[in-house]
Each structure stands twice: as structure tokens, then as C-alpha cells.
Structure 1
Amino acid sequence: MGYLKDKKSWSDADIHELLEDLNVDESRIADDASWFDLDFANRFMDLVEAKLPNENIAFGAGQYIQKNAFSATIYHLMRGLISVSRLYQLLSTYTPYFTKASRMLVLKAGRNTALVESRPFSSELEKPYMCENRKGILSGLPQIFNLPMATIVETECFHRGADRCLYQIKWNEDRFPKFIYPVALLLLLGILGYRSGLSPTVATAVLICSICAYLVFYMYRANQAQRKELEIHNTVLESSVRDNEKKNRELELISQIAKLTHALATPDEMAKAVVQSVCELLQYDRSMLLTVDTNRSVLKVSSHFGFSPEHAQLMEEAEFNIRPDNTTGFFIKVVNSKLPVLIENVDEHIQKLSPRSQKFAKILGAKSFVAVPLFNQSHEVLGVLSVDYVRDDKRMSVSDQDLLVTLADHISIGVHNSRTLEELEHSLQVSREHSKAQQSLGRVFQKFVPTELATELCSTNDESMQGKLLEAVKKKSVAILFGDIVGFTALSQQMSPECVVELLNTCFSKIEPIITKHGGFIDKFTGDGFMAVFDTGRSCENAVMAGAETLIEIPKICESLKILNLPAIDFGFGLHYGEAILGNVGSERRLNFTVIGETVNLASRLESYTREVGPNNLCASAVVMKESGKLYEWRPLGAVNLKGFQDSIEIFQLLVPKISRADRVSEPLEQLGK
């Protein structure tokens, strides 16, 4: 409180507000015993740091306590009785009087250097501000002797992953060399001896020998002090080297995990690389990575390293039940509590396990181990990383646990990313297969319904929407192409039923791809004929091209029939373009898409009229001729009265396509057999 008033210029009102937040009075602050209540001390520091967020209050308070601890009178008294080095050496004795969270030990102390270690009793008790406060106290001790503050280098820190805090302390003592006082004393004794009756020669010799002996002794002590300082420096240097090597191994492990993530490694590849790197870089005996199967509420070993083949087979078959009601087992505790588990001696804790877990632990033979949870972005446990020692001379410590907790964040990101990547790849594969299925289904639909309707049906999974689409009726301009085998009735009477079916299938299997290629679909087969609908794009021109190419294909169809010992056939085609009604006709349980209207009737009558013109011909209406006249040549057949139509109909016969052979047709139309 004095530090806040003197150094931070807090007013009485500020102090009163702080006490109200703490719910205590000033007498509680003045009572030294209050600061042994760690909960109270933690709450006090949290409140002060919240009010002064950008300042190191704990460090400054530690320095302030030492500077104001002694009056000038006590300083002069202590100056003659104790040195700064001795004061640091007494820290080990008096540490329990001002902290319950850690034990402080002075490893070495020289004339103006010291090496001090602080080991926390528990990771739960030790807080970062306590470390800063210790540094403030240690740096402020020389102020008791009106000396400048000591400089502190923290070579190891519990809060950065080490198992202790190690402080290297240096200070300056500006005073006369110690040998001045004894030399002056010897001179005084020599003068007294001379005056007491000793001869000048003897007195001088004794004085010189005494001075030389003391100088030798003093140089020996100085050499010993320098040796101690060098030992402190060497200890600090070795500690720094070990700490740097450890940090380098940690960074190398993190780098390897990052490389695997960037290399788009699979979850199995990531798991194998992690357990191997953890053992090789951090020098543990064995390691394993377990993953959570949320569907089955079990924990399974994904990968392991350092185990014998017998142990490896056992772990691959092992599963751990992680339901909340299961409270036994080290790994289960990690998953359900979401906290790391440190077991320094497995033999002391094995009796707490279930019989099955005890058997498993005894077979594996771990002496000491640490297990830490791996979290996803939602802070849900996705796995457990475990390392162990099988040697009796090695034990896990809090620093190992903290190190793995730090690494677990990086490992979790790598494992999560690899899983996400695998899920994305699986989703993409499913999407590709679904897209292929949709396209295939669309192509199938297009054989039975208009292309537009097929596309809409395939683009939605909503059954109600699909029902509405199927029930919808449209009036649309379409081209209708009828085709029929000439003289099929008489021909079929001379053939067996099997041959009739084979003949029809052979013919239609050659014609249907041509219709589809030009954007049409066969609405229905009518025994020995078919009705094709063209409803997209330049439907009239597409229908004419399909009809022309089908006529050119007839000789090839006849060749295929000949190979099958089937008779040759002739076709007649009728084509008209105009408005028609498109829709599904039937009941709720079964629908049949159809096209009805005058356009359909006229196309059918035009196909029948080919019997008057001759086989293997295509007759079309004047509308078709006008729409496709630029591509084809037509021969007018005059106005003809057709059944079902009051007015006469202008009919045109398709002659020679003007498009190139490579584009649409394989032979000139005039080469068709007539």
C-alpha cells in the first residue's frame, strides 16, 4: 500500500475504493498474516493490475519493500556485522516467512554475485506476479546498504516451461579493499613493538613478514572468491545452454508440425510424425496419440512410437470408454476433466484404476508419464497426447507437463487441420459423385421429359417443389419429329416375336443417340415408331438436323440388321414446329409426361404422308422449311388435304443438307437407297 501511495500517487480515496473492492478494511492490509492467504494475495494483485494494467506492480513493490525496510541507524549497525553476500545467503532461512507458494535456495554466493533458485510447491499455487515480486525483492536487497540495486538475469523460469526459476544476481560494493585494515593494524603493532624495546631490525623484519603473510592469505581468499564467481557463471551458462537446447527442440517440433500442415498431411501421417518427433526431439522414452470417437464415446490409439511390437498390437486393439459416468483411468480423466494429468510414480497410483486399466498399465510398464488434452476450435477434446519414461532414474515433472500443454496447442491445430482437410476431401469426393449422379440422372430425365424440366428436377431435393414441377403444365413452341418403320405390320408377321423385338431394339438404339445429340428426347415409342420432342434453343433447326442424320444412318442400320440375319427396313419421318401443351398426365402414384396439341397431330399426319412420297423421306410443314431454309434444300410437294385438318397444308420434302459432312452428316442425302 505504501508503494501505491508513494510511487503511484494513489490518494486515500483510491485506497478506500480498492479496500471496498476487496471487501476488507485497512487493518487487514496492515496484518502481515493476511499475505500468507494466497487467495487474498491473488485477488489483491488482480485488482491492482486491473487498475494499472501496463505496469509491473509486483516488481516495483518488491524493490520498495527492501529500500524502506531499514532505518539509517540499523543500516550502520548491519554495515559492520553483515555483507550483501551474507544477506543473500540468509534467504534460504527466511523464505518461509514471506511466501508459501515456493521454496527459495541460494545455490552459490560470491563477493558481488549470487545464484538463487526458486522451486514452486505446486503449479496451482505459483502465479506469474510472484516471480516478478521475487525479482523485485532480490534486486532491492543491496539498497539496505545504500548500494545501487542489483541486476538480475532470469536464466530459467517456471512460467516459461522450466521446473524452477533461476536468478543470476550481480551488485557493486564501492568500498576500500579489505586488506587496508589488517595492514594498518600490522603497522600499528610494529610501531608498538619498536617502542617496547625490540631492536629496529627485528621489529622491521617481523612487520614485513606479517604483511607478506597477510598479503599471501588475502590473495588466496581473493582467488577463491573469483573461483566461486566463475563457478556461478559456469552454472548459469550451462543452465542457459540447456534451456536454449530445450527451446530449440521445441521450436523444431513446432516447425515440423507446421510443415506437415502445409504439406496437407493426412491425419494418420500427422499422428505418426507427431509421436515420433516428440520422442526424438524431447527425449522421452515413448509417446502415443489417442483420438476421440464421439459416435461411440471411446478413446482409441491413433499412433505410437517407442513401443515393442507386442505392446503396439495391444494398443491398436485397446479402447477406453469415455462416458461421463466412467471416472477411472488416466486417459479418461484427461478427456472428461479437460485437464492434463501428471503421474510422477505410476506404481503409487495404479491401485486407483479399474482392474482392466491396471492390467493394461502393468503390461505397458510405464514408470512416470504425462498426458495432455488436444482441443479443437470449440474447446472440445479431440484427442490425448501422452509421453512416458520406462526407466526408474527418470521422472516427469511439472515442467514436462507445462511443455506438453504448450506444444498441445500447436499439435491440436495440426491434427484439427489435417482432419478438416480429410473431411473436405471426402466432401468434395461425395460432391463430385453426387454431381455425376445428378448429371447422369439429368441425362436420363431428358430422355423422358423436356431438358428444362429435367434440370429443375435435378437441382432440388425438395419433394414438394419436385411435385409442383411435375404437376406444372406449359404451353411452349416445340418441334415434333415422328418416325415410323414402313410396312412393319406385314414384316412382323413373317418373323418370330424374339426377332421382332431384336429388330426394333437395334433400330431404336441407333436412332436415339442422334436425337439426344441434337438436343431432343424421345417422348414415347409407339410400337414400330417414335415421337421425339425438341424444346430447347434452336429447336426447329436441331430437329431437322436430327431427322437428316437419321435418314443418312438408315443404310448402316440395315447393315447391322443383316449381320443379325434380320431383314432391311425403311423409315418415314414427319416434322412440324409450333405451340404444344407439355405436362404430366396420370394419377398421384404414376405420371406419364406427354406433349399434346395440333402441332403433334400435324407432325403425325406428315409422317403418314411419306407413304405417298416414298420410303426413307422426311416431310415437313412450311414453318419448318422457313426456319431452316438457310441450311437445307427443300422440294415443295404442294398443298395437301390431311385427315383431321380443314385447311390444306403446304408440304415440303427434305433434299440435300447444306452443312458440311464433318459437322452433321456422314453421307449426302442423295446417296440414300431409294
Structure 2
Amino acid sequence: MDDGPDSISRLYNSRNIQVWIRFLEKRYPDVSIGRILDYAGMKSYEVNDDGHWFTQSQIDRFYEKTVQLTRNLTIAREAGRFATAVETKSMIRRYMLGFLGPQQAYAMLDRSSALITRSSTFKVRKIDSNSVEIVVTPLPGVMEKPYQCENRTGIIESIALAFTHHLPKIDHRECIFRGDKSCRYLIRWEANSLVPLRMLRNSFAAAAILLGAGSLPLLSFSNWLIFSLSLLSSNLLLSFLAKNRENHHMMKTLDELRQSTEELALQTRINYNNTTVSHEVGEAISKYTNIDEVLSNVAQIFEKLLNYDRGVIMLSNEDGSRLEFRAGFGYSREHLALLKDTMFHLDKKGSRGVFVLSYRERRSFLVNDLNEIEKDLSARSLAFARSTGTRSFICCPIVCEEESLGILAVDNVQSKQPLLSSDLNMLRGIASVIGMSIKNARLIESREEQFKSIIKVLATSIDARDNLTAGHSEKVTEYALGISRELGLSKDFQEMIRIAALLHDYGKIGVPDSILKKQGELSPVEYAEIKTHAAKTHAILSQIAFDGIYTQVPKIASSHHERLDGKGYPNGLKGNEIPLGARIIAVADFYDAITSQRHYRQPMLADDALELLMREADHHLDRRVIIAFFLYLQKNDLVQHVPDFIERLA
């Protein structure tokens, strides 16, 4: 196949091939359309898609194989004349017959030609009521072939033929294949059959009047009356025939206009729907940074707005060895389980499944009949496709910055509507947006993980100063998150609590080891120094540029020693003045502190610790938070007899 510029540029709309195929089916029913399409490198779904365009090389090969199989060297012009035939039901016929006559149809060629070709420009000049001049000029770089000039001549002939039922006379004065810069056609056609009929009716009416008036002196009154009634009847019959033909022509024109309008309305709805989908996908992606939330919302939008029976999004795992199911819609439980359990190996060279090939080669697939690609699939892949009931499908790679991230696939099981290139193009666009979103989400997740690891290191560095407090911050964080879940707090709030809990004692970095590790009770001065860690925590954490909900971290982390009765520190806050997050960490910190080994005392037994927590309710600690903590302990079987304490506390 030619790899020059003309083969790369897509110049000819699929509607051209649709006309050729209908022509061949009508005149050459024994010719294999499939062989012609295979030779030309065309797919049936591309031909059926009004939005698809073919290259010069593909058109040339289509013509070459058609001539070979039909053995008809003049077939190009014959196929052109078929463009407006009733059997074609083509856009060209409906568009042209929407006009009142050839003159108007030819006058619109400069615009209508753009619907079927990008290879040349059409200029139309009216000469008189029954003739026009058309000049066709190839665009720079386009290398048309002589058969295309013949096909174009046939199409020009078909326009007048559709209206007059007679071939027009064409004077092809200039031709690019005779060394001219353009193809110039002078077209002259016979008047519409309605015109002679009207003229006959009008002439007959005038003649009848003259004959009637002239015969009056020559005939008896009774004979003259019979003669006049005969003339009148004939005139009425001619008038009826003329009117009937006019009405028939008008109804036919209106029907063509209606069909064109309906097709335009359908395409408008499709374009609007595709735009809506792209917009909603963009909206969904902008609202979420979690990959699973993004993909789940995209799947819901697809199911709601697009006419596909099923859809699936699969991403590669961390080591890139296989594809994993991440979101989907329309699948039965059985097929969904099969999708999740099937191993789509990316690390096996012999894997030839469509999902794997699409991912590896960053190539899209559109198949309207699974049998078309049967020979290209492994037995395992074919068995999988058939087990899920797949008939037709589209599969697009999800790519960002030349890196494959996964695949997006949709298919039809029950719907008989063919999948088109316009579907493929839309899904490619959406897949690229999904790819960018996944890349951004992973970048955000990576930074969050870095942030979390830094926070964890900071917390561990404080706990590590004393082997007895090692792991304290992580334990408090675990309890605080458990309480938050029991209270039904949002994931964002829980994440903020996690950071605050990990750093709640960070101010102790400014307290000397001689006090932190002292054996026995602290002196009043030493205890006062210990208490400064809360204010120091706030001072240190306030220097971090926390954003969004995390701006609460410094205040919450530094307020876990505040008391409901206002006797806490560092600010003596009371009741609801104490942030909820600080009240949660306070319970978690209090419980871990009294149940852990310290330099100055032994750990308290669990039942005794719960009893002490109950006594601290309402004046020191928040009763609601304590109950939530007890529920957390109960659900996780961390302490026995919890239900008794919950009942007493409630």
C-alpha cells in the first residue's frame, strides 16, 4: 500500500463507498464485498460510519479490486450515476432531492461536495435555467486518478437524472488528466417533465377557448354545447394530471426533506450526547482525586448516558504484570466475577487477548462481529469473549505521556445497533482524559504517601526518645481513627485526625530527656515543663503549610490535654470550645497512657482503665466519644466486658 502523503491524508467520506457497495449488491450480487474491503484495508464498521474518511490509497485499492472482480472498466461512471438512484437510500440522494430542481441542486454542489470529499473544491456557475458550469480543482498535494474523474462525471449526471429521468448532456471541456489545472464540465439537461405538462395544459386551454368561440357560428347549439363540454373535460383532465404530478413531486421532495431533517436531528442528538458525556466525565474527574472514586463515577456516567450494554475499566497492577478490574457496569454477577478472576497477563509474550494487545501496543479495536478477529485471538481469549456473551465491542488503551495505564472497553450484547468510528473516537478522547486523571491521582497519592511517611517518621522520632513510649503515637492514632469511624465522620476528617494524632506529642521534642525519662514522680516545676509540650506542638505545627481541612491539625493536636471543665491546658478551653478532633484524641491518648508501662507506674488493667474512663466522663472527657471508643473496642474484641460498661455509660 502506498505510504505517500495521499495515503496518509483521509480525503474521502465513507458515504462514497456506501454508494459503491449498494451499486455492487444491486448489479453484481455475486461479487464478494468482503474481499474488496479486505484488499482496500477497510472495515465494515468504518464504511457504515458516516463520520469516517478513507485515504487515496484505500480508495484506489477498492476500485482496483472492484474492476478485477467485475471486469467492468467503465464501472466508475456507472457507480456515479447510481448515487441518486432510489435503491441507494443515500445521503446524496436525500440531500439533492430536497431541492425543487437540478438548478438548485447543482448550485449547492460547492457546499454539499464537502460532505463527501476533501480532495478538491467545486465552483458552480449558472448559465441559464437548464444549464450550469462546474469547475473541480484538486487541492495541493492530492493525486486523483482518472477513474475518479469518471465517477465524478457519473455523480453529476445522476443529479439531473434524479429530477428529469433523462441523462444530461455533459461537455467535459477541460480535464486534469489532459494536462489542465481543473476539470471543467458544462451540463445541460431537459426541462422538468412538469413544465411540458403545464405548457400543454395552458396551450390546450387557450386553444379550447378559441375553438369554442370559433365553432359557435358553424355548429348547432346542441352540437356546439357537446363540443365545448368535450374541450372543457379534456382541459380539466390535463389540469388534474398536471396538478397530480405536481403534488406527487412536492410530496416526494417533502419526504426527502423530512428524512434529511430526521438524520440531522439524530446526528445533533448524538453530538450533544457525546459532548454531555465528555463534560460529565470531566466534572467527575475534577471532583475526585481517589482513582477508584474517579473510575466508579465514570462507569456510572457511561451507563446513564451512553447506548452501550456493558463497560469495563481495567488498570495494570503495580508491577505491570497483569490487568485488574477497577470499575464497570452492565455485567451480570457471573460475568463480573469472571472478569475479576480472569488473569490478563501482561508479562507473557504469548498473550494475544484484545485487552492485552490494546494495552501493550496502545492500539484501539472496534469489532462488530467477533468472528472477524477469531483467527487473531488465542483459544483462551476467544473462549473468554464467548463466555461473556460478547458480540461487538470497542477497546481503547488508557494512555498518558506515552505510558499505558490500562484499557477502557464497551460492548453490546443485546443491542443490534452497530458500533461506529464516531463511538471509537469519543471513547479515545474520554480514555485520554481518564489517563491524565489517573496520572494526576497517582501523583497526588504518591505525594500523600510521602507526606504520610514524613509525618510517621516525625512521630516515631519523638516516641523513639524513650523505649517505654515507642509506638504510643501510632496506638493513639489507631484508637482515634476507630472512634472517628464509630462517630460516622467523613474520610477527609478521619485523615486529618490521623495526622493530628500522629503529631499530638511532637512538642515533646523541646522537653529535656532528664524530665521525659525520669524515674518516679515529677516535681511541680518538672510537670509544668512537661505541660509546655502542648503549646510547643502548636508552635511547631503552625509553621507547616497545611491546606484545606488539614489547617485544623495544629489546634487539634495541641488541644488533647484540654478538659471539658476548663481545667486543662494549654488554653483552658471548655466544652464545645474544644475541637471534636481534640476530644477524640484526648480519649485515645488517655486510654493508651494508663494502659501502658511508664517510668513512674505500672500499666492499668483493661477493666480498671474502662472504669476510670467512665469516671472522667462529662467533666474531663466527652461521654459521646467514650461510648464510641467502647463500641470500637467491642467490635474489634480488644477488651472483654465492654457491653456492661456501654450500658452503664449510656
Structure with higher helix content = 2
Same fold flag (TM > 0.5): no
- Which is strand-richer, 1 or 2? 1
Q: Give the TM-score normalised by structure 2.
A: 0.45
Normalised to the residue count of structure 1, the TM-score between the two structures is: 0.44
